[in-house]
Amino acid sequence: MSKKMIFLLIGALLCVGMVSAAVAGSVDWKQCQGTEIRFLMNKHPFTTSIEPKVAEFEKMTGIKVNLEVFPEDQFRNKRMIELNAGGSVDGYMIMPGQAKLHYWKAGWLKPLDDYIADPALTEADWDVKDFFAGPMKGSSMDGKQIGIVINAEASLLSYRKDLFERFKVKVPDTMQELEEAAKFFTGKEVDGKKMVGVTLRGKGAAATSQWVDFLYSFGGSWTDAQGKSNLASPESIAAFKFYGDLLRNYGPQGGTMLHWSESTSIFMEGKAAMIFDANVFKSLYENPKESKVAGKVGYTTIPAGPAGKVPHVSNWSLAISGTSTPERQKAAWLFVQWATNKENVLGALMAGVPAGRASAWNSPDYKSKDATPDWTAGSLKSFEIGQPQWNPPVLNVPEIRDITGLVIVDAIEGKDVAASAKKAAEQMNKKMEM
C-alpha cells in the first residue's frame, strides 16, 4: 500500500468520524449523569406517548426521571401546591394561556433562552424555528421563552360520517346547520340505540374552554375595549344561549355534569351523532379498544356563527421550575429538549397528538400513514384562523372561568340567561385581577 493510499484512507476515516460527530451533535448527553429530576404531568395523550420512551432517555443520559401523572383538575391543584412549597419539582406541563401570568409573577418559570442558545446544551437539529410561532410566542413572557410547545390544540366538530352519509345529512358549516343536524339525529333509533344530536362539555368552568369558540364566533368577547367584562353583551348572551339550548335540547341528559371525559365517553359509546371538543381526543375516538366509533368519525372546523369561524388555539408546553437547583434545571432541560425533539413530536402526532412542529405535519411518513386527512386539514385550518387568547385575560383565570361556568350551567338548565350573564359580569368586574 502506497503512502498516498494510506493518507487517503486516514482522510476518509477522519471524514467519517466528523460526519458521525455531527450526527451525534454538539451536546454531551451524559453531562448530568446521576442527577434525579421530577416532572409533574397532566394525564394527556402526549404524556401517554412519551412515558414508555423515558427509559431510553434515562439510558442515554444517566439521568433518573420521575414522571408523576395526575388527571387534569388534580394535576393543576397539585402543581400549584408543590411549586408554592418550593424545591422538589423540576419541571411540569403547563397551558400558558391558563397559568403563565400567575406562574411568571411567582417566579416559577425558568427562562430557557440561554439553554436554547448554548450549543453545549442544545442540538442544532432540535431546531427551535420548527415550532409553530403562535404557540411559542404564547409560551413566552416579557420576550423570554418560558416553555417548549409539546402540542397545539384546537376544538373540532367531530361527527359520525357513517350516519351523516346514511341519512344524507349535510355536515354543518354554520351554527344554524349545526342545530338542524343536531335536531335531526336527536331521538333517532340507530342500531338499536337512541341517539342524541350532539354532546358538549357542560360542567361549569370546564365548559368555558369549548364555549369560548362559540363566544368568539357569535361576536362576543371576554372583555370590552375598556377592559371591563363583556359577558353581558348581546353577542355574548347569544353565545351562552345557543350553547345551552343546543346541549339541553339535543344533548345527553344531565348536560351540566359533562366534563370532557363524560362527553367523549358518550360519543365513543356511539350514542351521539356529533361532539365538539379538542382535536387531541381523536386518539380516543379512533382507538378501537375503547371506542365503538373508531374509523367512523369525520372532522371539520367549528361551524360559522354571525362573526364567522373563530376557534381558539391553545397548547401545552413543558416548563422548567424556577425554584429548582441549577444542576437539576440543566438535567430538566435535557429532558425537555429530548421530549420535544422532532422524532418524539412526530411519534406523538402518529399517536394522534396534534403536533406543535411544522416538520411533523410535513413529514412524508405522517402524510402517507394519515388515516384521517380531514382531521389534519381541520386542525391546520383552525391553527391558521384561531385566536390564541382562549381564557379571560386576567391573573385569576380559574376564578373568572368559574364565574362564567355558572352562566353556562344556567343556560343549559334553561334559566334566564340575560340575568345570569349580567350577574356574572358584575362578579367578574369585581373580582378580576390584572
Q: Which of residues 368-407 bind other proteins (CB under 8 A)?
A: 396, 398-399, 402, 405-406
Asked if 419 touches other proteins (CB under 8 A), the answer is no
Rounded least distance, CB 423 to other proteins, Å: 9
126: which 3 cell numbers? Answer: 432540535
206: which 3 cell numbers? Answer: 370546564
Q: Which of residues 306-365 bind other proteins (CB under 8 A)?
A: none
Which run of H or of E encompasses 100?
Answer: helix 96-106
Stretch that binds other proteins, among 32-40, 73-81, 158-166, 293-301 (CB under 8 A): 73-81
Asked if 177 touches other proteins (CB under 8 A), the answer is no
Rounded least distance, CB 401 to other proteins, Å: 9
d(CA 354, CA 45): 10
Nearest alpha-carbon partner for 337 in 125, 86, 87: 125
Asked if 262 touches other proteins (CB under 8 A), the answer is yes
Q: Which of 103, 131, 218, 222 binds other proteins (CB under 8 A)?
A: 103
Rounded least distance, CB 204 to other proteins, Å: 6
Q: Which of 66, 77, 176, 325 binds other proteins (CB under 8 A)?
A: 77
Q: Which of 257, 295, 306, 416 binds other proteins (CB under 8 A)?
A: 257
Q: How many other β-carbons are positioned within 10 Å of the β-carbon of residue 14?
A: 10
Q: Which of 34, 119, 254, 295 binds other proteins (CB under 8 A)?
A: 254
Could you report how far apart the first and last alpha carbons of the chain are, in Å?
A: 78
Q: State residue 160 phi and psi, 5-degree precision.
A: -80, 95
Decide whether 76 or 110 has the Cβ nearer to other proteins. Answer: 76
Contact 145, 112 (CB under 8 A): yes
Asked if 162 touches other proteins (CB under 8 A), the answer is no
Decide whether 123 or 262 has the Cβ nearer to other proteins. Answer: 262
CB neighbour burial string for 301-333, b if at least 16 within 10 angstroms, e if fewer: bbbbbeeebbbbbbbbbbbbbbbbeeebbbbbb
Decide whether 209 or 300 has the Cβ nearer to other proteins. Answer: 209
